[in-house]
Amino acid sequence: YPAYDAHAIEEKWIEAWGASNLFAADARESTDRPKKYVLEMFPYPSGDLHMGHARNYTIGDAMARQARMRGFDVLHPIGFDAFGLPAENAAIKHKTQAAAWTYANMDQALATMRRMGFSYDMDRMVKTCDPEYYRWGQWIFLKLWERGLVYRKKNPVNWCPSCQTVLANEQVNEGHCWRCDSEVEKRELEQWYIKITEYSEELLDDLDQLGGWPERVRHMQANWIGRSEGAEVDFTLCDAQGEPIAGEAGKITVFTTRADTLFGCTFFLLAPEYAGLVELVQGTEYEQPVMDVIQGAKRVSQVERAQGEVEKHGAFTGRYVVNPVSGEKIPVWVADYVISDYGTGAVMAVPCGDQRDFEFAKKYDLPIVPIILNEDDPLFERLQHVSGREVDQVSWDQAYAAEGRLVQSGPYTGLCGGKHSEAEQAVVTDLEKSGFGRRSTQYRLRDWLISRQRYWGNPIPAIHCPHCGIVPVPEDQLPVILPENLDLAAGETLAESPQFYETTCPVCGRAARRETDTMDTFTCSSWYFLRYTDPHNAQLPFSREAAKRWMPVDNYIGGIEHAILHLLYSRFFTKALRDMGLLDVSEPFTNLLCQGMVKDQHGDTMSKSKGNVVPPSQVIAPFGADTMRLAILFIAPPEKDFNWDEEAVAGANRFIRRAWRTVWELVQQGVSHTAVVRENLGKAELDLYRERHRTLAKCTEDFDRLQFNTAISAIMELVNAANAYLNAVALGSRNEALATQVATDIISVLSPICPFVAEELWHEALGQTESVYGAPWPSFDAAEALTDEVEIAVQVLGKVRGRTKVAPDASPDVMQAAAEAAVASWIEGKRVVKAICVPGRLVNLVVK
C-alpha cells in the first residue's frame, strides 16, 4: 500500500472538494433533514491567521463535518469583519489604501483557511467592506431610525486622543481605550446613538433562555446590563433662605435601592453634571468651590468615578432639602462619585450604610447616624429605644454592614432592613401613599454610541441640510459609497473630502452636506450571521424565509473577549430586526463555545512583540494540515487554554501514520461487502467487535459534548484494538467483514478531525466513490460493548506484573492458569507455591 504523503493528499482533496462544491449548504426552503448552523466568529483581517484562529476554526470545522455525517443539513460559512482602524493606520504607515491592505490580508487568510481544509460554503462569503454588504447595514440603520431607535445627542463622550475618535462605553476599560490602551478623555460632542436601552429588560430576561452559553458569559452580560430594583424618592428643595419650595419646582428626586435607610440619610448629593446645579450656586459664595468640583470631574471618566476607588471630591451648595420621611433638613452637596447618567443623577447619602457615602462624610465631617444594626451589637441595645436621633460617637472606620434591624427610624424601628427587605417594602408603600415615592427599576446599560470620526467604516446614511435639518438618505440612494481613494497618509478624512460630502438635500433639493462619521464596526458584526443565510439578496439584507431556514445559529464559537460587546449588540440587532418583522427568532446563538487561548510552550500569550508567535504555516509545512488539526483538538478540551507543544504535534503526526497503516492492513486481505455476522466471530474477533462498540459509543458521546480530545483518545483505542487483532490473527485467516467494518469506522470517526487522510483512505483503501461526508456516522450498540470477561491484575509476590481476562465467575484453578500465562516471563524457572485468588479482581502468585 502507498506511503502517507500529507501534501499530495491534501492538495488533491482541496481541489476535489472545491470542484464539486461539496460544502455548499442546501438552499432549499426545507428538506426532510434537520438543519444545523455552525458558525465561528469571523476574523478581522489584520494579517495571516494565527493559532487562535486556527483553533477556533478547527473546532467549528470538526463540528460541521460531523453534523453532516449525522444527517444534518449544515450551514457553515465564513467571512471577514473588514472595516476598522488597523487598516486605516496601516494605510497611513505604508502609504497605501485601506482597501488594498484589507483585501491583501483577506486573500492571505483565505489561502491559509483553504490549506487547513475548512469545510466552508465559500459561495456565502461576506466581507463587511463590500458595498453589497454595507448597503444593508445602512438600510438597517435607516429602519432603526424610522423606529425611533437612532438619535443624536450632545453629551460628554469618551474620546481617545490617539485613535482620534469617540468610543462606546463598552470600549473603555478602566478609563483606557480597548484598542490602543491610551487614557480616554471626556469631550462634549454631538454624536449618533442607538437606543439599545429600549431592550434592556428583554436582553436581561432572555439570558435565562441561553442555557447553552457558558455561565460566566451570561453573568458578564447580566452585570453589564445591570438591573437594580428600588424606588424613586422625592425630596423637597429649599430656597436660598432655607424655605421649602412648594410644588413641582421644589421636587428633586433620587433613585435608591435602600429606601429603608431614609432615616440615616444625613446629606444629599448631586452629580457635577446635574442639570440646574450651576443655577443653584450662581452668584453665591458657594459658586467657586462647586465649579472647581465640576471642572475636576471632567478629568476622570464616569466609570472610574463610580467605582469609587479614586479620591472623592465635593462641595456644599449652600442649599438644603427636606427628607420626606424624617422631615429633616439636610445639606445638598455636589460630589464627583455621583454619576449623571445613572438613576436621576442625585443620591440620598446614607453614610452609616454605604461605604462611599461613609468616606465622603469622614472627609467633609458630615454626620453619621447609625440606623441599622445587628441585634448582637451592644449599640443596638442602647439605641433600639432611643426615640430622638443620636449621631454616632463610636467612630467606625467603615460603613456598617447594611443589613440588620432598624433603630432610630421612627415607625420603622425594629423592622428588618436590607435590599428588598421588610422595612424597604414598608417605606416604599408609605411613600407611594404620600405621593413622595414610587417603585423604579434602573439599568446600568447605556445607549450605544455608534458614530466614529474615522474613514474606514460604514458611512452613516444621513444628510445635513441647512433648511431641513438632518435627513435620512433615501433608501433608493443606498449605498452611500465609501470612497477608496482618499490620501490617508496626507491626513485626508471624509470631512475634508468635498467629493464625498457635497450633496443635495433629498427633501428640498438644495446644497447640503453628507454626514462624514462612519459607524462603529460592531454594527457590521451585529448581523453578518443573518446575511450568511441569504448572501446574494439584492432586495433585502436577507429574506425572512432564508433566516427561518437557518436561524438561530446552533453552535457559535469564538473568544471570551467578545462576551459583552459583540454578543450583546448581536442579541440587540436580532430583537430589533424581529420587531421590524424581518426575523422570527429572538436570540441569535443557541449554544456558545468560548475557546481557550493558545499560548507558547512556556504558557505566555503569543504576540508579535514577544516574538513567540507560532504561525500555522510552521506546522502545516512539515506535517500537513491534518496533523495541525489533530494536535489542536487533542492537546486540550476546546474551552481550556493550552500551551503550544512541539512534542504533541510530532505525536499527532505519528498517530496519523499509525491509523493510515492500520486501515490499509485491515483491508489487506480484501474489502468485504457483507455485514458482520456476530455468531461467526471467534475469540479474537469478538474482542475487536466489542472494542469497536465500546470506542464508538465513547467517541460519539464525546463529540456530542464537544470534548474532542477524549473523542480522539477513543479513536486511538480503536486503532490499538485493530492492531491487536492484526497481530493475533495472521493474514489469510482474518474476518474480512469485521476488518472492513473497523477500517470504515476508523476512517469515519477520524474524518471530522483529519479530513484529508480520511477522505483519501475512504476512496483508496475502501474503494468508495462518493465522499465520506455523504456517508453516515457509524452506528453502534453500547450493549454489545459489555464483555463476559473481566480484567484482573496479576501479582507476583505482591507486585503487579501483568493483567489478564477471565470470566467473572472463573474458578481459582482457571484464574491461576490464566495468571501464570500472563506473567510467564516473571515466574520462569520458579515454583508457584501458592495462588491467592480474589474473583473479579486479582491473583497473587507466591513463588520460590
Choose the binding region for ligand ANZ from 73-81, 137-145, 334-342, 546-554 (rule: CB under 6 A): 334-342
Minimum CB distance to ligand ANZ smaller for 421 or for 590? 421
Q: Residues annotated in the binding site, as ranges?
A: 608
Q: Which three cell numbers stand for residue 569?
A: 449588540
616 interacts with ligand ANZ by CB under 6 A = no
Q: Residues annotated in the binding site for ATP, as ranges?
A: 608
Phi-psi region of 435 (alpha: psi -120 to 50; beta: other; left: phi over 0): left
368 interacts with ligand ANZ by CB under 6 A = no
Nearest approach, Cβ of 429 to ligand ANZ (angstroms)? 18
Site string for ligand ANZ, 179-218 (x = CB under 6 A): ----------------------------------------
Q: Could you tell me the CA-to-CA distances from 528 to 118, 357, 560, 562 in Å, in that order?
A: 19, 46, 19, 15
Residue 370 site contact among Zn ion, ligand ANZ, none (CB < 5 to 8 Å, cut-off depends on kind): none
Report which DSSP code applies to 729: S
Cα–Cα distance, 603 to 644 (Å, whole number): 8
Q: Encode burial over 676-711: b for 16+ CB neighbours within 10 A, e otherwise.
A: beeeebeebbbbbbbbbbbbbbbbbebbeebbbbbb
Among 77, 175, 343, 418, binds ligand ANZ (CB under 6 A): 343
Choose the binding region for ligand ANZ from 118-126, 325-333, 338-346, 610-618 (rule: CB under 6 A): 338-346
Nearest approach, Cβ of 625 to ligand ANZ (angstroms)? 50
Residue 468 site contact among Zn ion, ligand ANZ, none (CB < 5 to 8 Å, cut-off depends on kind): Zn ion
Among 442, 595, 735, 795, binds ligand ANZ (CB under 6 A): 442
Residue 137 site contact among ligand ANZ, Zn ion, none (CB < 5 to 8 Å, cut-off depends on kind): none
Residue 189 site contact among Zn ion, ligand ANZ, none (CB < 5 to 8 Å, cut-off depends on kind): none
Nearest approach, Cβ of 190 to ligand ANZ (angstroms)? 23
Q: Which three cell numbers stand for residue 57?
A: 476554526
| Residues 247-286 within binding reach of ligand ANZ (CB under 6 A) | 255-258, 261, 271
Minimum CB distance to ligand ANZ smaller for 348 or for 718? 348
Could you tell me if 42 and 130 are in contact, meaning their C-beta atoms sit under 8 angstroms apart?
A: no
Report which DSSP code applies to 396: -
Choose the binding region for Zn ion from 502-510, 695-703, 800-808, 810-818 (rule: CB under 5 A): 502-510
Residue 543 site contact among ligand ANZ, Zn ion, none (CB < 5 to 8 Å, cut-off depends on kind): none
Cα–Cα distance, 502 to 731 (Å, whole number): 83
Among 39, 281, 321, 350, binds ligand ANZ (CB under 6 A): 350
DSSP string, 198-219: GGHHHHHHGGGG-TBS-HHHHH
Minimum CB distance to Zn ion smaller for 467 or for 830? 467
Give the number of residues in contact with Zn ion, rule: CB under 5 A.
6
Among 354, 515, 517, 534, binds ligand ANZ (CB under 6 A): 354
Any idea how long the chain is? 848
Instruction: Give the three-class secondary structure for 475.
Output: helix
Minimum CB distance to ligand ANZ smaller for 83 or for 267? 267
Q: Which three cell numbers stand for residue 19?
A: 470542484
Instruction: Provide the terminal-to-terminal Cα distance of the chain, rounded to the nearest Å.
Output: 50
Among 175, 353, 370, 778, binds ligand ANZ (CB under 6 A): 353
Residue 505 site contact among ligand ANZ, Zn ion, none (CB < 5 to 8 Å, cut-off depends on kind): Zn ion
Q: Crossing angle of helices 625-635/646-666, nearest 10°?
A: 110
Nearest approach, Cβ of 52 to ligand ANZ (angstroms)? 35
Minimum CB distance to Zn ion smaller for 401 or for 508? 508
Minimum CB distance to ligand ANZ smaller for 401 or for 489? 401
Query: Which amino acid, residue 494?
Result: L
Choose the binding region for ligand ANZ from 322-330, 339-347, 522-530, 719-727 (rule: CB under 6 A): 339-347
Nearest approach, Cβ of 319 to ligand ANZ (angstroms)? 18
DSSP string, 557-601: EE-GGGTTHHHHHHHHHHHHHHHTTS-S-S-SEEEEEEPPPEE-T
Q: Which three cell numbers stand for residue 339?
A: 454619576
Among 46, 108, 228, 612, binds ligand ANZ (CB under 6 A): 228
Instruction: Give the three-class secondary structure for 463.
Output: strand
The CB-nearest residue to ligand ANZ is: 353
Give the number of residues in contact with ligand ANZ, rule: CB under 6 A.
20
Nearest approach, Cβ of 22 to ligand ANZ (angstroms)? 53
Could you tell me if 38 and 558 are in contact, meaning their C-beta atoms sit under 8 angstroms apart?
A: no
427 interacts with ligand ANZ by CB under 6 A = no
Q: Could you tell me the CA-to-CA distances from 168 to 445, 446, 627 in Å, in that order?
A: 11, 9, 42
Query: Looking up cell 493606520, which residue turns up?
Result: 89
Minimum CB distance to Zn ion smaller for 152 or for 610? 152
Minimum CB distance to ligand ANZ smaller for 191 or for 323? 323
Instruction: Count the neighbouring beta carbons within 10 Å of the beta carbon of residue 304.
Output: 17
| Residues 464-483 within binding reach of Zn ion (CB under 5 A) | 465, 467-468
Minimum CB distance to Zn ion smaller for 511 or for 675? 511
How many CA within 13 A on the CB side of residue 636? 15
Choose the binding region for Zn ion from 136-144, 503-511, 574-582, 642-650 (rule: CB under 5 A): 503-511
Instruction: Count the neighbouring beta carbons within 10 Å of the beta carbon of residue 763.
Output: 18
Q: What is the number of H-type helices and E-type strands within the chain?
A: 27, 35
Instruction: Give the three-class secondary structure for 244.
Output: strand
DSSP string, 626-660: HHHHHHHHHHS-TTS-EE--HHHHHHHHHHHHHHH
Choose the binding region for ligand ANZ from 30-38, 48-56, 345-353, 609-617 (rule: CB under 6 A): 345-353
508 interacts with Zn ion by CB under 5 A = yes
DSSP string, 286-298: THHHHHHHHHHHT
Residues that bind ligand ANZ (CB under 6 A): 228, 255-258, 261, 271, 306, 338-339, 342-343, 345, 347-348, 350, 353-354, 402, 442
Residues that bind Zn ion (CB under 5 A): 465, 467-468, 505, 507-508
